[in-house]
Amino acid sequence: MNEPFEDELNAAKADGLLRAMRTVDSPQGRLINFNGRDFINFSSNDYLGLSTHPAIKKAVHDCVEKYGCGTGASRLISGNMGPHAQFEEKAAEFLGKPSALLFTSGYSANVGTLTALLGKGDTVYLDRLCHASIVDGARFSGAKLERFIHNDPESLEKHLSKNGDSKGRQLVVTEGLFSMDGDCAPLKEIAETAKRHGALLMVDDAHGVGVFGPNGRGTIHEAGVAEMVDIHVITLGKALGGAGGVVAGSKKLVEGLVNFARSFIYSTALPPATAVAGTTAIGIVESSDGENRRIRLKQNVGAVISRLGKKCYNTSEESQIIPVILERDYLIEMSAKLFERGIFVPAIKHPTVPKGSERFRVSLTSEHTESDILALMSVFEELEVR
Ligand SMILES: Cc1ncc(COP(=O)(O)O)c(C=O)c1O
């Protein structure tokens, strides 16, 4: 008998799609260390550099001294400690919703929410580029799954109109800022379309929170549609520099999730220090320190876009996530060249992105320096557009 996965792994290898992990021997900073060598890091979603912020590290140390490292139980048994409750209060206030609930990750927040809320007879409408955690949650829920054209409210309108007489719950899901294309959703139009049809609206702002909107409250606040968003999902794992997922909404929504979201109920609570990291990170995001980091990030985005624009790459110009789409073989060749020069930019291949749209995903942070950006640009400027 074959080893488990032998055939599948061989097939993935033959297609050049085998995945493997690298071990990092440093914090996630502007530099990252693999095997004793530093690389300029353009792979991190730690957009504001908060994963190494001194105030967060201190708060985490203090919390570990007081509460220890682990919780030893799920939230509904005895794992619900003061720091979790304090975090949720802070998160709800920050996101401008009556209530918020902390999950162990953004993945489990999406899967838990969608499976709790939806079932047979319901319909869920996803933007075609929604993240795997949203697709998985929608599929696991048993609801009818419809996918509208990326960032196209008219396509959403057609799908919703077609199901006009459906008695089940209707839920529209999009992301605020898309993780692979770096473009923002037309949130106002999507929200208006959903509401015209009486559908609920869920926005996953994993990549927008901390970076967009007044005080970093995210894309839904930037677009002025926060009131129309019934379910607001964020992760603490990106601009907030820690770990965990959050769902914010009405008190009833959160009470429903506490009772029915299986990924919340049947999972050990996050360590209290992780909740404290989240609370401290939100405080920084709202402060002038956070604002200064957003300004630096914006300057870095401007510096890259203006130089890439001259080469006519197919890039989004809206955010800190900058895709550079290239032919697959060329992508692999260039990836090796960047690595040789001490620059780490992840090459994103199918199936994470559709075939034919393989790309570098340049991820900028507030911590990159001008010389980091010049080093990256010097390699990109040597590239032929293919
Ligand atoms: C849009 C989106 N939602 C959810 C997640 C999952 O969040 P987490 O990493 O906290 O599980 C990610 C990325 O990881 C994401 O890009």
Asked whether 45 lines ligand 1 (CB < 6 A), one says: no
Q: Which residue is associated with the tokens 């001194």? A: 54
* Neighbouring residues of 356: CB distance < 8 A, sequence distance ≥ 6: none
- DSSP, collapsed to helix, strand or coil, labels residue 187 as helix
- Percentage with pLDDT > 90 across the chain: 81
**What is the H or E stretch that residue 144 is in?**
strand 144-148
CA angle 295, 301, 304 (to 5 degrees): 145
Asked whether 241 lines ligand 1 (CB < 6 A), one says: no
pLDDT tens for 340-374 read: 999 999 888 888 888 888 888 999 999 999 999 99
pTM: 0.96
Residue nearest to atom 4 of ligand 1 (CA): 106
How many CB atoms are located within 10 Å of the residue 304 CB?
Answer: 22
pLDDT of residue 50: 98
The second-level CATH assignment, the architecture, of 6-41+288-380 is Alpha-Beta Complex (3.90)
What interhelical angle do 54-67 and 82-95 show, nearest 10?
Answer: 150
* In contact, 184 and 264? CB cutoff 8 Å: no
How many CB atoms are located within 10 Å of the residue 86 CB?
Answer: 15
Closest to 118 measured CA to CA, from 202, 189, 188: 202
pLDDT of residue 306: 85
User: Does 54-286 match 6-41+288-380 at the fold level?
Assistant: no
pLDDT of residue 337: 87
Ligand 1 atom closest to residue 245's alpha carbon, by position in its atom list = 10
**Cα–Cα distance list, 221 to 95, 145, 177, 190 (Å):** 8, 28, 13, 14
* In contact, 40 and 375? CB cutoff 8 Å: yes
**What is the H or E stretch that residue 376 is in?**
helix 370-380
End-to-end alpha-carbon separation of the chain, Å? 45
How deeply is 371 buried, as exposed, middle or buried, from its count of CB atoms within 10 A (0-12, 13-18, 19+)? exposed
d(C-alpha 245, C-alpha 133), whole Å: 12
DSSP output for 247-278 = EEE-HHHHHHHHHH-HHHHTSBPPPHHHHHHH
Pick the CATH number of 54-286 from 3.75.10.10, 3.40.50.300, 1.10.10.10, 3.40.640.10: 3.40.640.10
* In contact, 103 and 84? CB cutoff 8 Å: no
pLDDT tens for 207-243 read: 999 999 999 999 999 999 999 999 999 999 999 999 9
d(C-alpha 337, C-alpha 331), whole Å: 10
pLDDT of residue 307: 83
Task: List the domain boundaries for the chain.
Answer: 6-41+288-380, 54-286
Ligand 1: residue of 131, 150, 202, 203 to mutate (most ligand atoms within 8 A of CB) is: 131
Asked whether 107 lines ligand 1 (CB < 6 A), one says: yes
Q: Which residues of the chain have pLDDT under 50?
A: 312
207 is catalytic: yes
